Amino acid sequence: MTGLRFILLILLAAASPLKASDGYELWLGHPPLSESEIQGVAEGLRALCAPSRGALQQTARREILEATERMLGSALAPVETVDQEGVLVLGTPESSSIIAGLDLADDLETLSEEGFLIRRLEVDGHPAIVIASAGDRGVLYGTFAFLRHLQVHRSLDKLDRMESPRFRLRLLNHWDNLDGSVERGYAGRSLWDWEELPEVTDPRLADYARANASIGLNGSVLNNVNASARSLEPEYLHKAAAIAGEFRPYGIPVFLSARFSAPMELGGLSTADPLDEKVSAWWKRKAEEIYRIIPDFGGFLVKANSEGQPGPLTYGRSHADGANMLAAAVEPHGGVVMWRAFVYDPEPGSDRIAQAYDAMKPLDGEFASNVLLQIKNGPLDFQPREPFHPLFGGMAETQLMPELQVTQEYLGHSWQLAFLAPMWREFLHADTHAKGPGSTVTATVDGSLFDQNLTGIAGVANTGSDRNWTGHPLAQANWYAFGRLAWNPDLTSEAIAREWIAMTLTRDEEAAATVERLLLESREAVVDYSMPLGLTHLMWEGHHYGPQPWCDHLGRPDWNPTYFHRADEEGIGFDRTKEGSNALAQYHPAVRSRFADPATCPDEYLLWFHRVPWDFEMKSGRTLWEELARHYQRGVDWVEAAREKWSGLKGKIDPEIHAEVAERLEIQERDATRWRDACLLYFGTFSKRPLPDGVGGPSQSLEEFRRQDPLDLEGP
């Protein structure tokens, strides 16, 4: 390393912010280490002994060489033997004779083929670091884990880690359309340019796959669950194959959402009845065609008989009939079917949140072995807070797969800060009591409680063509957090936040602590200023941005906010006890009894499960109206304080990112105030009680709020 280059490197590393970042590199920028850090790492990391066999191991080798050169100022020297101190050995027993000769067989046997170990040990008499796995994917994931360790901890002391992912499938679901638009997308257009494919492939495709692999994700569903049958035409299959080719070096197979009526729309059949022999034969031929074009195709995601989508119920068949027919088509090729449980088309008058359970529970045990029932975390629709879906723990004979929403459809789009790791942890660690205490949601789906063989977890993606991928710069943390929790659902929100901050924003300890607090508190703040105490689905119609609690004119009752809050002069909330809709009966007795009594029901779910009067005494001793108003005010206060704290980070965060986040926090404060004012004005028409002291008064009338679409305001 030349003296001038070394001086420039140290000057860059010494600065607190991670400089010159527009967000494109995500958490993979690998900025230079400081002089002391370089010296500490360089003593134990001097050379790389890694095979070039196989695409995934070649990718791992390249990642190590490029990242260490950026962090240390010079690349590791490639070697073929361990004849010195400080060699990093990478590979599998099949690809590396060195690893094959080490005493690692018992450890590797305990890991999955995607698992890895990272360990300091002696190799041929020399201290070395080994990244080993039984499979090529595990080598790649171990490589990224090692680089993450260097970025976050910057120490090689006491390295001894063994990890396997808890879920076999760890997927992003893209609700992308063939015209380039993205349903519920807030970061530009689709990453897939269908018009240019397959002749032209955007370099971002490989960068996207690399980012996913770096956090342990292993698949992408390319198209919207509200699918077009054209996605299965040969023209589009070849386009999907071009995407798959860009993803393959990072171990990311592609999946497709399948339109159930495709045999009619593409095949000219008169029916899509899953029990019709011609229909099942058509799907088998289509599967054979797909696997000829995309040999490592993962399988189908299906939304059926939901929100106007075609499905098996049209023909008097069950959801299991439909899923199993498709499963039989892909099973010879090793494919899977993910059948979404987001269905609500029941008898008039039944409770919307109970409908998916009522539809799916009777089918427990009827789904094929390569089918996963994909279920949203809550029984409604990705709201800022919901109790866990009762199907988790309720279908012991069916392979279940949680579906989380990374894109912020109901949490302020890409204009508001809402770090979702705490929400997902709340869900994953909720106790279903399916087999007594400790039967967490995670245990019901990771195979540990019900011996589930095929496991998975899906996240509805928040990526788009915006330069920084996610619109809001800090929304990248949700993509990162989903991948980390998909790999290990026991990771804490704090640990995930610290990792992401250290790799993306700043190394300044005080600044990092401030950002961590903002991230960890942000989702609860959104709940406070939008839908506290179990209120839900108060969003503006259509785009779901901003408040519209008065909305009562939509096509069916359970699309309207008034259906969910049921406010009148007597009180507010939805009674789901046995005196009401009895949706609580879908939970196991211990959960049911806790939620059924207002005295033991947590405040955050009170109005979800109970209808209570405005003067109901809360656990705080305040009335419901006072508590509701104070929550709304607390949310606004948090955003005001967050703006001030973020402003204090100027000079410690990249200027471009700092300015953009500051602008969006300004919009968030305006929106939080609007939520508070509009909701309290509206609910106040029923409660007929004054606002408590300390709760701000509205700046305009209720009628003005009712006339003004939030997306028409300056900013969003």
Q: Does the active-site annotation cover 431?
A: no
**How far apart (Å, rounded) are the C-alpha atoms in residues 664 and 662?**
5
Buried b vs exposed e over 479-493: b needs ≥16 C-beta within 10 Å? Answer: bbbbbbbbbebeeeb
Yes or no: say if 10 and 35 are a contact pair by the CB < 8 Å rule: yes
501: Cβ contacts below 8 Å, ≥ 6 apart: 512, 515, 516, 519
Q: Is 453 exposed, middle or buried (0-12, 13-18, 19+ CB in 10 A)?
A: exposed
Torsion of CA 520, 525, 526, 532, to 10 degrees: 130
**How far apart (Å, rounded) are the C-alpha atoms in residues 22 and 150?**
22
What's the start-to-end Cα distance of the chain, in Å?
48
- 3-state SS, residue 470: coil
Q: Are strands 116-123 and 160-163 parallel, antiparallel or unpaired?
A: antiparallel
Q: How many CA atoms lie within 13 A of 684 on its CB side?
A: 16
Q: Which amino acid is residue 197, in one-letter code? A: L
Q: Does the active-site annotation cover 446?
A: no
Q: Which of 176, 207, 409, 669 is catalytic?
A: 409
Q: Name 539's bridge partners.
A: 547
Residue 372 φ/ψ, nearest 5 degrees: -115, 130
Torsion of CA 700, 704, 708, 712, to 10 degrees: -40
Q: Which of 307, 345, 552, 570 is catalytic?
A: 307
Yes or no: say if 114 and 164 are a contact pair by the CB < 8 Å rule: yes
Q: Does the active-site annotation cover 626?
A: no
**How far apart (Å, rounded) are the C-alpha atoms in residues 40 and 268?**
68
Q: Which of 66, 69, 381, 604 is catalytic?
A: 381
Residue 612 φ/ψ, nearest 5 degrees: -130, 155
Catalytic residue set: 307, 381, 409
